[in-house]
Amino acid sequence: MKEVPELHLEPYTGAQGRIRLPGSKSIANRALLLAALAEGTTVLRNMLDSDDTRHMRAALRQLGVQLQTRDIDGELQVEVQGLGQLFNCPQPQRLFLGNAGTAMRPLCAALAFSQGEFELTGEPRMAERPIGPLVDALEQLGAQITYQQQEGYPPLLIRGQGFSGHSVCIDGSLSSQFISALLMVLPYNQEDTLVTLTGELVSLPYIELTLAMMARFGVEVERISAREFRVPSQQSYQSPQQYLIEGDASSASYFLAAAAIAGGPIRVDGVGLQSLQGDKEFARVLAQMGANVEWGDEFISVSKGALRGGVFDLNSIPDAAMTIATTALFAEGTTEIRNIYNWRLKETDRLSAMAAELKKVGAEVVEGEDFIRITPPQQLQHASIATYNDHRMAMCFALLGFSDVGVTIQDPDCCAKTYPNFFHDFQSVCKK
């Protein structure tokens, strides 16, 4: 059996500094697709260089898009020559997308109405992440998609063809990515399309992010009500020439929480009041718990306060919510995080994984179908934390470095999915 690498984080006595965040994965992969479909050439600035964005870039090249990368003073830029249309591939294409949901879902929608035959596959975990609600919606509009293994899950075989239909219902209870993927392809319909959202909606800020990015690339969507949108027909994406990818707000959470626990101040640059990302609201949750938070248009700064637990509905920020679970170990009283069922559908079953690893350090944990309740112990215990090949498990448990006994993180390299330099940057703000 292959030995799993480990990283031991010694007990740290404080945290202070300033961090420039890497680009947002959610924005980066959306921007890559929109730039590929747009008329004209787009330079994407502050591009995140991670496993997920590499899978998207490789897929776009395979689909005939010309991309050039360059490093400008430490900033990765990608120049994308847009096609000005959906994809057209005379030969069948097999696209391997790793475990990148932000590549699988939007490419599924775009390729459903492109010309060609496409097989979308990935790592074993991808075959456990649902895509049925998106496929159901695309089939309402005439798509031909075949599940190659389990019904409702990748891998998929797509035989691209044109639209047939002008209204569609889509279930948004499992992932907002399904809705975002659908919205991004609908401007190519020959008729105006009425989109109706069903189910209890999750991660709504990500839909707002998608709409804002579509508008930046020249496509407007009409909001009829909270659950209805009209996408005007025969629109085309237009290059904005340059597009700056915001710093990743989910990644900001680890540094902001470190400051709230261990002193601070820590300032993260690249996300702030003007950010499109819903995960910026993580800082408001920290403030509710007692941290001191300062906001700027493009930065957030946090310093320590007397942290206390509470009950938080974090349906709208599920990724950053994981950081609250580990921050709770340093708060007085019990913390309950509610309405987070879609943790179970991510890179791993995060509810089950989080409960198991929190118990290792001595916490009293109640795991529900869509909530987790955490009561910290009198004394945290050292543990070797399993990360389940899930970058966010590794990053949020780094906060245990501020306990009196430190922490050991298994497979720290899994952070390459979104933040390859995370532990270098994290340790740069920690004080021994």
The pLDDT tens digits of the residues spanning 128-147 come to 999 999 999 999 999 999 99
Determine if residue 346 is labeled as part of a ligand binding site. Answer: yes
Q: Which two tokens stand for residue 110?
A: 């775009």
Q: Which two tokens stand for residue 266?
A: 């820590």
Determine if residue 360 is labeled as part of a ligand binding site. Answer: no
* Alpha carbon 151 to its chain's center: 24
Residue 233 clears pLDDT 90, i.e. is over it: yes
Q: Are residues 122 and 269 in the same domain?
A: no
Q: Are residues 57 and 146 in the same domain?
A: yes
Indicate which residues carry an active-site annotation.
Answer: 319
CATH code where residue 206 lies: 3.65.10.10
Q: Does the residue 341 lie in any domain?
A: yes
Mutual orientation of helices 176-185 and 25-37 as an angle, nearest 10°?
Answer: 20
Domain extent, residue 86, equals 25-230
Determine if residue 253 is labeled as part of a ligand binding site. Answer: no
Q: Are residues 343 and 375 in the same domain?
A: yes
Determine if residue 359 is labeled as part of a ligand binding site. Answer: no
Longest distance between any two alpha carbons in the chain, whole Å: 64
pLDDT at 214: 98
Mean pLDDT of the chain: 96
* Alpha carbon 85 to its chain's center: 26
Residue 3 clears pLDDT 90, i.e. is over it: no
Q: Are residues 206 and 65 in the same domain?
A: yes
Q: Are residues 172 and 299 in the same domain?
A: no
Residue-wise pLDDT tens digits, 172-191: 999 999 999 999 999 999 99
Residue-wise pLDDT tens digits, 196-223: 999 988 898 999 999 999 999 999 999 9
Residue 212 near residue 276, CB atoms below 8 Å: yes
Q: If we measure between CA atoms, which residue out of 142, 124, 59, 48 comes closest to residue 97? A: 59
Q: Does the residue 12 lie in any domain?
A: yes
Task: State how far the alpha carbon of 174 is from the alpha carbons of 70, 105, 177, 200, 227, in Å.
Answer: 37, 13, 9, 8, 15
pLDDT at 18: 97
Residue 275 near residue 252, CB atoms below 8 Å: no
Average pLDDT over residues 395-399: 98
Residue-wise pLDDT tens digits, 285-309: 999 999 999 999 999 999 999 999 9
Determine if residue 392 is labeled as part of a ligand binding site. Answer: yes
Determine if residue 177 is labeled as part of a ligand binding site. Answer: yes
Q: Are residues 218 and 331 in the same domain?
A: no
* Cα separation, 254 vs 324, whole angstroms: 9
Residue 2 pLDDT class (50, 70, 90 cuts): low
Residue-wise pLDDT tens digits, 357-384: 999 999 999 999 999 999 999 999 999 9
Determine if residue 46 is labeled as part of a ligand binding site. Answer: no
Average pLDDT over residues 327-331: 98
Among 230, 261, 295, identify where a domain stops. 230
Q: Are residues 319 and 180 in the same domain?
A: no
pLDDT at 332: 98
* Cα separation, 109 vs 97, whole angstroms: 14
Residue 324 clears pLDDT 60, i.e. is over it: yes
Residue 33 near residue 107, CB atoms below 8 Å: yes
Residue 1 clears pLDDT 70, i.e. is over it: no
Q: Does the residue 242 lie in any domain?
A: no
Query: Three-state DSSP class for 82?
Result: coil
Mutual orientation of helices 101-112 and 51-62 as an angle, nearest 10°?
Answer: 20
Q: Are residues 277 and 197 in the same domain?
A: no
- 196 - beta bridge partners? 169, 228
Residue 371 near residue 338, CB atoms below 8 Å: yes
Residue 266 near residue 300, CB atoms below 8 Å: no
Q: Are residues 300 and 164 in the same domain?
A: no
Q: Does the residue 67 lie in any domain?
A: yes
Residue-wise pLDDT tens digits, 93-126: 999 999 999 999 999 999 999 999 999 999 999 9
Determine if residue 319 is labeled as part of a ligand binding site. Answer: yes
Give the contacts of 337 (CB within 8 A, at least 6 positions apart).
312, 314, 321, 324, 325, 371, 372, 373, 374
Amino acid in position 96: F
Residue 33 near residue 42, CB atoms below 8 Å: no
Cis bond upstream, residue 265 (ω within 30) = yes
Q: How many CA atoms lie within 13 A of 236 on its CB side?
A: 10
Q: Are residues 213 and 254 in the same domain?
A: no
Give the contacts of 223 (CB within 8 A, at least 6 positions apart).
211, 229
Determine if residue 45 is labeled as part of a ligand binding site. Answer: no
Residue 11 near residue 58, CB atoms below 8 Å: no
Q: If we measure between CA atoms, which residue out of 200, 207, 205 comes closest to residue 340? A: 200
Average pLDDT over residues 412-423: 95
Residue 78 near residue 36, CB atoms below 8 Å: no
Determine if residue 203 is labeled as part of a ligand binding site. Answer: yes
DSSP letter, residue 186: G
Determine if residue 350 is labeled as part of a ligand binding site. Answer: yes
pLDDT at 344: 96
Residue 268 clears pLDDT 70, i.e. is over it: yes
Give the contacts of 372 (CB within 8 A, at least 6 positions apart).
325, 336, 337, 340, 351, 354, 355, 365, 366
* Alpha carbon 49 to its chain's center: 14
DSSP letter, residue 171: E
Residue 350 pLDDT class (50, 70, 90 cuts): very high
Residue 234 pLDDT class (50, 70, 90 cuts): confident
Q: Are residues 124 and 181 in the same domain?
A: yes
Q: Does the residue 377 lie in any domain?
A: yes
